[in-house]
Chains A and B, each alone.
Chain A
Amino acid sequence: MPVWLKAIVQSRAVWPVLALVLILIVAGSVSPNFFEIRIVEGRLFGNLIDILYRAVPTALVALGMAVVIGTRGIDLSVGSIIAIVGAVIVWRIKMGDPHITILFSALAAGILCGMWNGFLVSALRIQPIIATLILMVAGRGIGMLINQLYGGTDPSFESALLQWMSTGSIWLIPTRLILAAGIFLALWLLIRRTALGLFIESVGGNAAASNLAGVKAGLIIFVAYVLSGLLSAWAGVIMTADTHTSDPVSVALYIELDAILAVVIGGGSLAGGRIYLGMTVIGALVIQALTTATLISGLPPEYNLIIKALVVLSVLFLQSANARKAIGSLVSRRAS
């Protein structure tokens, strides 16, 4: 068997990508117009665009999660950060701030939440799952309290700027896709074109050794949670603008679980030590493609969660080192 084929079969990327392609093919065979892309009201429409469009918030949150998981941590509070960000946006709009200032206030709220998590984990040395659980539990309550700052009677709003960022488009392409691509690129540069990625991975792999090698482990961990807070805030801006309202109780419910799944489907290990940004996005797309495909196929929505669980299980199984080796040797035996 050719070297390139073997390399593909044994690569980390092959199963998540294959799963994504397979889901799309199955969806396409069930629904004949699945791959159709039309232009409606000056913007691209179609199932493929829809999958990308809807995957953006999860993908953003998952990218932050990938960084935190790289430090051997976890951030359960991402959904609550989105709730807080939504409440902050509506509060500031009711207070009459300029909308560009509101955007920065929203992102600052996310950064602040990330700093809180980072402080608990790196300075107080609380286990990440517990430390972020605190904000996960408290965050939605904080969101409701912020809603009361303006009376809390009518949390709906209009904002041309935020709507444009979320549901608008530039030259047929949804703005949120373009912005998300820009954020991905910026994050990738930050992780891979500075030494931050190496430091995060070394701290996640062995914090004690990294410290002795001169890496400021505490600071690195802190920065990871701040990044996660910032990326969650961006997802919060998009989701809040999407619904024109702040709904701290139910916005982005369980998004932390989808984000963790996306990281893991993308090959990340909860044991820390490695960050795969691109594969994390693929993971988020797998999750969204599944959801969209089940909806289109006309299956009752109850099946969605079960199918999702099964697909995730198979991807994880196929990705495990043992399965990869077994399949690799099977393929090469067939080929020879």
Chain B
Amino acid sequence: MNATAIDKPRVEMRSIGKSFPGVRALSNVDFTLYPGEVHALLGENGAGKSTLIKILTGALNRDAGEIRLDGKAVNFNSTGEAQAHGISTVYQEVNLIPAMSVTKNLTLGPSRDALGVISWGKARKRAREKLSRLKLNIDTEQPVGSFSVAVQQLVAIAHALDDDTSVLVLDEPTASLDAQETATLFAIIRDLKARGMAIVFITHFLDQVYEISDRISVLRNGNLVGTHMASEISRQDLISEMIGRELGEVEATLAHKAESGPGKQKLVARDLGRKRTLKPFDLTLHAGEVVGLAGLLGSGRTEMTKLVFGAIRSDSGELHVDGQDMSGATPRRSLASGIAFCPEDRKAEGLVGDLSIRENIMLSMQAKRGWLRQLPRREQEKIAGEMIRALGIATPDAEKPVRQLSGGNQQKVVLARALASNPGILLLDEPTRGIDVGAHAEIITLIRKLCNEGMALLVASSELDEIVAASDRVAVLRDREKVGEIDGADINRDNIIRMIAGDDSGQH
């Protein structure tokens, strides 16, 4: 790595800014990439990693800042232009056509043959050359889909690599690989690095970050928190940078938590788990208690909430709600027994965009009542109106399609739906994701209010300060395993971070 420090940077991104309607995705981000280095890019969901990468690879245009390639200012309007300058990307989902042969897949893209006519003889030869760069010896006439995910991943990398590729971006390349396959991939990365390739490596596995990268940059909420030599930053400091401090005011207002102590047991999970999803865990929720779920991206936060709700079917252990056996329950049955769930991905799993705010709010409650007993329209309007007022949903009327609301208001509609079903237990996955600071504080306040009214809440969040501010107890996850709990007065950033980091280097 010392060698690279004296080299000239291959890529310099300076003061990059990018906004989407209602969201500031990146502001003033610097990112430098040297030849022969592996540069890890870290951050939680929505931190701005993919936006930064898309700007680098020409998939998005920046609003501000400049990009220099080997010292020259460049401006890519398409991924094709970036590729022509030697910048290639391999995305997390393998972008290959499974039913096509390896040769055909490797031939897709800008044609170099005369008149766009493909000579398959040449194409086969070129495909084998590309694969030999990665020391991959496979039958190029077999369909890509017939190979393991790891080989497909390597074929995708081969596809991305050209003779003149100098920058390779790997977006979560190891997400679906096992340890052996990861080792193979890393050997290839090291080889490419030795040949002077500049590599951006996006992942959420910290062990892999330390294993393969030379430098680490951390993004949070669209800002660069810092760039470090991998050898000079501890795991704890790294985690602390990733899940930073956002909540100052809220924390102050909520310093006083429930004095009364938790009520009776509402939900007990014993050895609940699912293979390859989350190791079996124990969890108890009491009435009048907020349990926070802390852990890094990919540690199993979402999976735990979904296992408890039955949105992911468990294959081990049992679940009891109010003393009733709920093992293997479907979302519908969970809802009927008084559990409500607000998923992380509002658009895909939360809202029905074309239906009105009223219809979205009514959905769970109506599902609970059954299809025959439709709530009278006047009643529906009353409940929707109350929810809109209580949660401060900004809308002229309840009949507006929910798609047209802002992110924060959409989140409140998801919450309103859960609350309208009158649950005793509320599971919230990232309740403040992608919403502005004002709405953020309101939702934390609401969580505490519901708790004081006797509800049992499980709140998964990537924001540590949010967890600290809202929770009476914190369950900590690491690498798809619950590693411990922190109680009452011991809940603070340092304790949680220490537990997330762990002493062992937990193999993934």
| CB under 8 Å from chain B, chain A span 74-97 | none
- Whether A195 touches B349, Cβ cut-off 8 Å, given contacts A213-B417, A214-B332, A273-B355, is no
Q: A215-B367, A216-B332 are in contact. Are A198 and B349 (CB under 8 A)?
A: no
| Residue interface bits A187-215, CB-to-B below 8 A is 1, else 0 | 00000011110110110011011111111
* Chain B residues whose C-beta falls within 8 Å of the C-beta of A216 in the assembled complex: 332, 367
Chain B contacts of A201 at CB under 8 A? 352, 354-355, 359
- Distance (whole angstroms) from the CB of B430 to the closest CB of chain A: 14
B341 within 8 A of partner (CB): yes
A interface bracket (residues with beta carbon within 8 Å of B): 20 to 34
The 8 Å CB contact of B363, one of A193, A194, A213, is A213
State which residues 333-358 of B face A: CB under 8 Å.
335-336, 341, 343, 348-355
Residue from the list B311, B368, B371 in contact with A199, Cβ < 8 A: B371
Asked if B33 lies at the interface with its beta carbon under 8 angstroms from chain A, I say no
**Residue on A nearest B421 in the bound complex, by CB:** A214
Q: Nearest A residue to B418 by beta-carbon distance?
A: A213
Among A194, A205, A210, max chain B CB count under 10 A is at A205
Q: Which residues of B contact A206 (CB under 8 A)?
A: 348-349, 351-353
Q: Which residues of A contact B350 (CB under 8 A)?
A: 209, 212
- Indicate if A140 sits at the interface (CB-CB under 8 A): no
> A193's closest neighbor in chain B, by CB?
B374
A158-182, CB < 8 A from B: none
CB distance from A86 to the nearest CB of B (A): 32
Q: Mark A216-259, 1 if CB is under 8 A from B, else 0.
A: 10000000000000000000000000000000000000000000
CB nearest neighbor in A for B368: A214
The answer for the CA separation of A212 and B418 in the assembled complex, in Å, is 10
Instruction: Say yes or no: B332 contacts A215, CB within 8 Å.
Output: yes
Asked whether any CB of chain A lies closer than 8 Å to the CB of B366, the reply is yes
Looking at the assembled complex, report how far the CB atom of B356 sits from the nearest CB atom of chain A, in whole angstroms.
10
Q: Does B105 contact A (CB under 8 A)?
A: no
The yes or no answer to A12 lying at the interface (CB within 8 A) is no
Are A194 and B371 in contact, with the CB atoms below 8 A?
A: yes
> B353 touching A214 by the CB < 8 A rule?
no
Q: Is A208's CB under 8 angstroms from B367's CB?
A: no
Q: Which residues of A contact B375 (CB under 8 A)?
A: 195
Looking at the assembled complex, report how far the CB atom of A187 sits from the nearest CB atom of chain B, in whole angstroms: 14
**Would A198 and B343 count as touching, CB distance under 8 A?**
no
Tell me how far the C-beta of A227 lies from the nearest C-beta in chain B, rounded to whole angstroms.
13
A196 touches B353 (CB 8 A): no
Residues of B within 8 A of A210 (CB): 352, 363
- Asked if B252 is at the interface of the complex by the 8 Å CB criterion, the answer is no
- Which A positions have Cβ atoms within 8 angstroms of B? 193-196, 198-199, 201-202, 205-206, 208-216, 273-274
11 example contacts (A-B, Cβ-Cβ < 8 A) are as follows A194-B374, A198-B363, A205-B353, A209-B349, A210-B363, A212-B341, A212-B350, A213-B363, A213-B364, A214-B367, A216-B332
6 A-B pairs besides A195-B373, A201-B352, A202-B363 with CB distance below 8 A are: A196-B371, A201-B355, A205-B355, A206-B352, A211-B332, A216-B332
